[in-house]
Amino acid sequence: METTLKFIEENKERFLEELKDYLRIPSISAKEENKKDMLKCAQFVVSKLKDAGIKKTKIYKTKLHPIVYGEWLGAKGAPTVLIYGHYDVQPPEPLGLWKTPPFEPDIRDGKIYARGANDNKGQNFVHIKSIESQMKTLGKLPVNVKFIIEGEEEVGSESLTEFIKEHKAMLKCDAVLISDTSLYAEGVPTINYGLRGLTYMEVEVQGPNRDLHSGSFGGAIANPINELAKMIAKLHDKNGKVTIPNFYKDVVKISKKEKENIKALKFSDKKFAKEYGVRELQGEKGYSTLERLWVRPTLDCNGIYGGYTGEGAKTVLPAKATAKISMRLVPNQDPQKIAKEFTKYVKAIAPKSVKVNVKQMHGGHPIAFSLDDKAIQAGANAVGKAFDKKTVFTREGGSIPIVVDFKNVLKAPVVLMGLGLDTDDIHSPNEHFNVDSFFKGIYSSVYFMTEFAKAK
């Protein structure tokens, strides 16, 4: 162990330089024009796995983006850890708001800035460097290790969903280890034990058969933007509850113990509001902010468009308006059932003067884990050691849909060892990752393997 820790200490600069190389590849899964970069990035990951001593690697071609697999199974009788991450990133737009270009990593104030710095290249590279540090100092690992680094997380993980079912035997493991979530606060070791699910819908409202003059027709023919806005307003009541029938029907009430755990985190509403530049918070009546974010389902408009949005003014009564609406789900809500209820309700509240078309986009199931699992306990001990503080347990408002497949198909516990911060601006301009968290993550990963080897 000592030699491994010393190796990490001595190689910090090089690890950071290599992370920069990873971040320079514009692996944007949503864009056709970056298809070649996706393969290049998968090859980069393979080369780093090989450098780390993972001799057996393979790039699996899929319908969309390649999946990287790697394994080292030299720890006879020891448990097997499957490490999951994603090498794809979100589109970087709007480009004008980046202080330095998204694919030219820059270190300022102890943070590394680039698209993917946190989500998820910085966080998955931690585990590759942990393996390298152990292999180069000890020639072996305390556990068997398998790697799955995919390229479609940001677009729904469709290929990996199939892949897990098809390669169930190859992926067999005793625990899945994922760093793709957040620390509770800077420097606070955290294990996440829940993720919200997602149902994402598109609502298209069609008015007249063509754009019309808003003077000659306004007041007589329904305006699809007006009608869509009214419909969206009807999706919440005055207490912040979602009005869709049966929306809360399957929601599991949290236990007293969990309520107390959340309360003990002493979340500051004031600090939170200030950080994001709002005067006041809002949400479902009767719940605290963390409860609203972690254990209650929500509905949000993610985008709305229609009519004239260009420069100056144009008087027009548009033919069409569209909204993209997401619902974050909690156990035991079912994304398909919620999509059906949403569609039925939106159609029911639509006036006869417009036609409404509702489409379902990608989604995912919510999940929550028991804290009693040995793997989760080993994770908590490991981060506690690396950050030298008491570990806290949190849930996440965000989603990683593939986690449910790991749990259901592989029947393995999942350790969410989040290392990012909610203030890291993921999916937004100037995404960044604390350099210190990157290194503490490497130590956490090393400690986890030692702890988990003892746990079996």
Q: Point out which span in 18-26, 205-213, 224-232, 396-404 binds ligand BES (CB under 6 A).
A: 396-404
What is the residue-wise DSSP string for 238-299?
A: TTS-B-STTTTTTPPPPPHHHHHHHHHT---HHHHHHHTT-SS---STT--HHHHHHTS-EE
CB atoms within 10 A of CB 354: 21
CA atoms of 77 and 358, how far apart (whole Å): 53
153 lines the binding site for ligand BES (CB under 6 A): yes
CB of 118 to Mn ion, least distance (A): 9
Binder of ligand BES out of 331, 401, 413, 441 (CB under 6 A): 401
Site membership for ligand BES, residue 327 (CB under 6 A): no
Which of residues 41 and 78 has its CB atom nearest to ligand BES in the complex?
A: 41
Partner interacting with residue 430 (select from Mn ion, ligand BES, none; CB below 5-8 Å by kind): none
In the complex, the smallest distance separating the C-beta of residue 154 from Mn ion, rounded to whole angstroms, is 5
How many Å apart are CA 31 and CA 195, to the nearest integer? Answer: 27
List contacts with Mn ion (CB under 5 A): 119
Residue nearest to ligand BES (CB): 398
State in angstroms the smallest separation of the CB of 120 from ligand BES. 6
Compute φ and ψ for 148, nearest 5 degrees.
-130, 115
- What region, left, alpha or beta, does residue 116 occupy, with left being phi > 0 and alpha being psi -120 to 50 degrees? left
When binding is defined by CB under 6 A, the residue of 396, 405, 431, 451 that contacts ligand BES is 396
Cβ-based nearer residue to ligand BES, 4 or 120: 120
Closer residue to Mn ion in complex, CB, 373/425: 425
DSSP letter string, 49-70: HHHTT--EEEEEP-SSS-EEEE
Beta strands in 127-240 (DSSP E): 144-150, 175-178, 190-192, 194-195, 197-206
Question: For residue 266, which amino acid is it?
Answer: K
Tell me which residues in 102-131 interact with ligand BES (CB under 6 A): 119-120
Contact call for residues 284 and 168 (beta carbons, < 8 A): no
Closer of 37 and 119 to ligand BES (Cβ): 119
Closer residue to Mn ion (CB): 119 or 451: 119
- Closest distance of CB 418 from ligand BES, Å: 7
Residues 286-315 that bind ligand BES (CB under 6 A): none
Task: HSE, CB side, 13 Å, CA atoms: give it for residue 136.
Answer: 17
Q: Tell me, residue by residue from 188 to 227, as one string, x for binding to ligand BES by CB under 6 A and - for no binding.
A: ----------x-----------------------------
By CB atoms closer than 10 A (0-12, 13-18, 19+), residue 185 is middle
Q: Can you tell me the distance from the alpha carbon of 207 to that of 350, in angstroms, rounded to the nearest whole number?
A: 11
Q: Segment near ligand BES (CB under 6 A), from 150-158, 340-348, 407-415, 438-446?
A: 150-158
181 binds, among ligand BES, Mn ion, none (CB under 5 to 8 A by kind): ligand BES
Name the one residue in this structure whose structure tokens are 């899945």: 176
Pairing verdict, β 392-394 and 144-150? unpaired
- Contact with ligand BES (CB under 6 A) among 182, 261, 288, 381: 182
385 versus 395: smaller Cβ distance to Mn ion:
395
Number of residues that bind ligand BES (CB under 6 A): 16
Residue 174 touches which member of ligand BES, Mn ion, none, C-beta under 5-8 Å by kind = none
Work out how close the CB of 400 gets to ligand BES at its nearest, in angstroms, rounded to a whole number: 5
Kind plus residue range of the DSSP H or E element containing 362 = strand 355-364
Nearest partner of 110 among 446, 440, 445, 437, judged by Cα:
437
- CB nearer to ligand BES: give 136 or 362: 362
Binding site for ligand BES (CB under 6 A): 119-120, 153-154, 156, 180-182, 198, 362, 364, 396, 398-401
